[in-house]
Structure 1
């Protein structure tokens, strides 16, 4: 059954068209993603579908008695009630039925005592009808359902009595979404529901929505989330809308195939047009061929010409490069504690970050992921321990709040003040790569959107050319296209990465390891996010098996599997690998020292003026770096083997 239809919908702003000729259809149980670049009009279209705004053209029709819930972007609850009172209010009608049932129970008892069986039977019939409605509304399971949803959004019992107005902005948004899910409307319209959610909450929400009985329309930049939830994609692009069947990954495949077909058809027709035009030009004036030329001209005039396929919309071109190479060991944190005001968030935290590694920091909100990055940069002191930087390490830091942007500056001034010796045209070239051109560079920072501020901060970071980047939620505020461009830039980056992100698709593409933070400290997993999930599942299965065994079974099982000779061989291999790794590490240290000496010699004035000496030093440096890469590859191979011996 069709729940909602948009027919030829348009929105204009003055003489500009945001979108037009929009046709969209939502059926019961639909799972739809609405995607498009920032500024394409996604949120505006959602407001129209939700009835909050009227289209300038076209119509939106909804089925009779359609119930729908709309969660706008940056929406949060404002209420004087407690968290529990606010969500319980969703079930006021069910509680009213329960109250009527209690009253009827009293009347039934009273009339039975009086011997008024007719009245008693009448009340019993009313009670039976109400009880059925109560059962159909899950009346006996309401409390359990509320607790389950609140727990999913990380509102534990300690939050139940907390006034809603004392919650943070992100918590208010999560509570608004929790309340909406408990209402169970026929159609859920969600604008960026994954904002403010950590990975555990995202996983819970995905599972919940997969079992949701109504239809869902979602705007989200979380590609992992879209892949798991949606079965249709509508793309807003170039003022039009395009429909694809499948999840986000399937949409990418279909769009690429469609563009390829459009170009083939266009090129084929252009070749035919050129051939016809050439024949006409050569043969129209010749008496023997003029009729054939005229026939071809008529064919050309009747031809329905294909429009040139729209190329990709202008994309940002992020580029990150390191001005100098760091040593092999980039960052070391040993048994540290992180937090603030003597409040420990996570302990012990250990991390050994090596050159060109990309480590993703994950964990629940509030566990200290951002705090750890700020502790490494010195903004927040470690409560215990310290961060030790390696040789030639230059740190670049991206703050998710963009607190390092100066509000009084224009976009141009924001970069130029840090690099005053650069010509203006060079600064404009960098900004152009990040989609700031013309008058855009004269906008002041407060007038920028979240996505624009993110691009300014990334542009500043790219100009620093640091070899260690600490990134705190770098994909926040970026549209899908900009995320993909950022991913490619970071994949090509020749430095080292330590980043916080709840974008699992992004983590999968970038991370070489995942560092999980919890109250009990850190744990490192060598691999991407999917590998991390596999290992967590294995750990859970082992824990469950161990818990199910009796104390007597555990040592029996262990001794049955362990053979003395095998264990002896295992230890021998382990010691051999330890010696080989230690030798390789010593070799790498010597190479690092030699590279540093060569770089220092190349910076000496006498060598800078001697072309032959500089060339010879550069050749030596290149040879050392090649040897470093080879030894590093062998060290990584041996280290992985060593980890497998545990």
Structure 2
């Protein structure tokens, strides 16, 4: 068991704590899925487990750990040499076996590592981690460079292993390979047995129960406040009768009046006690409720076909990247481009964006077509958020409001974007696109690094506003929810 007790940590120079007195434990034999909103400290916790930072509290029982993705210092080496450097104790036959189980052809290991596709590189590095000496594996978002088929293969592979902590936001992927969930909540950390779906169902029920209890207690406190007001009014009236009426000539029964007044005071005290108890009960609710406010989009309406491709073949590096494509895009279509890594999905989106991509075939589009584009790569984001907004001519107030709805901490607005998490950078690109009114939205793997809650927000947005969308995304749940049809590139 790894035991974390009263963990407290913040980065040097930062006044906001990443962890503040959290405690939890988990078994290193579990296939443990690790969840949490972007920027909440998932990668930080992995680094703490590896002893890279100083911290308050204690972390005990941690075995030797290996982190994925493993850095590759010389990608020009043969893939087999790279993997041998990752796991020096592994025999060649072990590396061939494990990579073969992940669907990598044996000949790929005898090619330079840099010539492998991103998906093949990911699979090979994962294979090396599971070879040789026994170490605890910390696997940080392995799906970002895997196509749909690759994700399924890796999930099936991991399901037959044990002893790893896996950070992922892909719901179907997590369901396919984990048996426990570790979740970073607003106020602490929770650990549950089961897959993502069972954890999500339990959390949804708990959130719904707490919301119902909170509403019930609010109603009770409102009723008690009204009762207290009535009691106060009655008490004032009773006190007024002690002096009697000057015109009646009658003396009031002060004993009886005092008795009534005491009863009312006791009732008022009882009401106040009940109000205090209800307030205390309400204060223990909704602390870990993740709010996901509705997003808005202002797509432009279009009359007529937006795109028409006939036997189009994009080229990359002077060679065709896929078979001829023929399809049309009508207003309201939400089309998912599918296919293996390297089949030309991103190249096609860049061609449609008007970038300098050579191609064959016939391609026409609606005159005056306005396009909003979300690129796959976030590595070039640096500098201030204000400069980012100005360069893209976006509405800064609207963009900041969208980021806040995506659970973006205000404190991050003042930091250099280079220091943001990968998920926060992707949110900035999506928020910029949502600020734009366009006929067509082209999104290239928009969900990379995005947390589960943000993915669901975007799903609800697209279903509510139904923009015309052509996108590449390997998250199976997202594709099945959003796409009106899918086009496979071969």
TM-score calculated relative to the size of structure 1: 0.62
Q: How does 1:230-249 map to 2 (within 5 A)?
A: 230-249=178-197
- Whether contact under 8 Å (1:22, 1:240) holds in the other structure is yes
CA RMSD of aligned residues (A): 3.6
Change (3 A) 1:460 1:302: closer
Q: Deviations over 1:157-199 (max 9, x none)?
A: 4432345577788765543322102247364321112122222
2:122 corresponds to 1:181: no
Residue 402 of structure 1 and its aligned partner are, at CA, apart by 4.9
Q: Deviations over 1:567-589 (max 9, x none)?
A: xxxxxxxxxxxxxxxxxxxxxxx
What is the SS of the residue equivalent to 2:280? coil
- Whether contact under 8 Å (1:399, 1:471) holds in the other structure is yes
- Whether contact under 8 Å (1:83, 1:164) holds in the other structure is yes
Following the alignment from structure 1 to structure 2, what is the Cα–Cα distance between the partners of residues 302 and 314? 26
Unaligned stretches of 5+ in structure 1? Answer: 96-141, 519-646
Among 455, 459, 463, the alignment partner of 1:483 is 455
Residue 289 of structure 1 and its aligned partner are, at CA, apart by 4.0
Among 517, 522, 525, the alignment partner of 2:489 is 517
Change (3 A) 1:465 1:385: same
- Whether contact under 8 Å (1:76, 1:169) holds in the other structure is no
Following the alignment from structure 1 to structure 2, what is the Cα–Cα distance between the partners of residues 5 and 342? 55
Find the counterpart in structure 2 of residue 161 from structure 1.
110
TM-score calculated relative to the size of structure 2: 0.80
Find the counterpart in structure 2 of residue 452 from structure 1.
424
Following the alignment from structure 1 to structure 2, what is the Cα–Cα distance between the partners of residues 207 and 482? 26
Unaligned stretches of 5+ in structure 2? Answer: 240-260
- Whether contact under 8 Å (1:77, 1:173) holds in the other structure is no
Find the counterpart in structure 2 of residue 77 from structure 1.
72
2:325 corresponds to 1:376: no
- Whether contact under 8 Å (1:90, 1:183) holds in the other structure is no
Find the counterpart in structure 2 of residue 309 from structure 1.
286
What is the SS of the residue equivalent to 1:456? helix
Q: How does 1:554-593 map to 2 (within 5 A)?
A: none
Q: How does 1:46-445 map to 2 (within 5 A)?
A: 46-62=46-62, 66=63, 68-71=65-68, 75-78=70-73, 82-87=78-83, 143=93, 145-151=94-100, 155-164=104-113, 173-183=122-132, 185=134, 187-212=136-161, 214-272=162-220, 282=231, 286-291=261-266, 293-294=268-269, 305-306=280-281, 307=283, 308-310=285-287, 312-313=289-290, 315=292, 318-327=295-304, 329-390=305-366, 393-402=369-378, 410-416=384-390, 419=393, 427-435=396-404, 445=417
Q: Deviations over 1:283-304 (max 9, x none)?
A: 7781344445556666767788
Following the alignment from structure 1 to structure 2, what is the Cα–Cα distance between the partners of residues 413 and 94? 49
* Structure showing the higher helix proportion among its residues: 1
What is the SS of the residue equivalent to 2:459? helix
2:6 corresponds to 1:11: no
Among 494, 497, 502, the alignment partner of 2:469 is 497
Residue 305 of structure 1 and its aligned partner are, at CA, apart by 1.7
Count of matched residue positions in the alignment of Structure 1 and Structure 2: 455
Following the alignment from structure 2 to structure 1, what is the Cα–Cα distance between the partners of residues 484 and 317? 33
Following the alignment from structure 1 to structure 2, what is the Cα–Cα distance between the partners of residues 499 and 161? 34
Following the alignment from structure 2 to structure 1, what is the Cα–Cα distance between the partners of residues 86 and 432? 47
Residue 455 of structure 1 and its aligned partner are, at CA, apart by 2.8
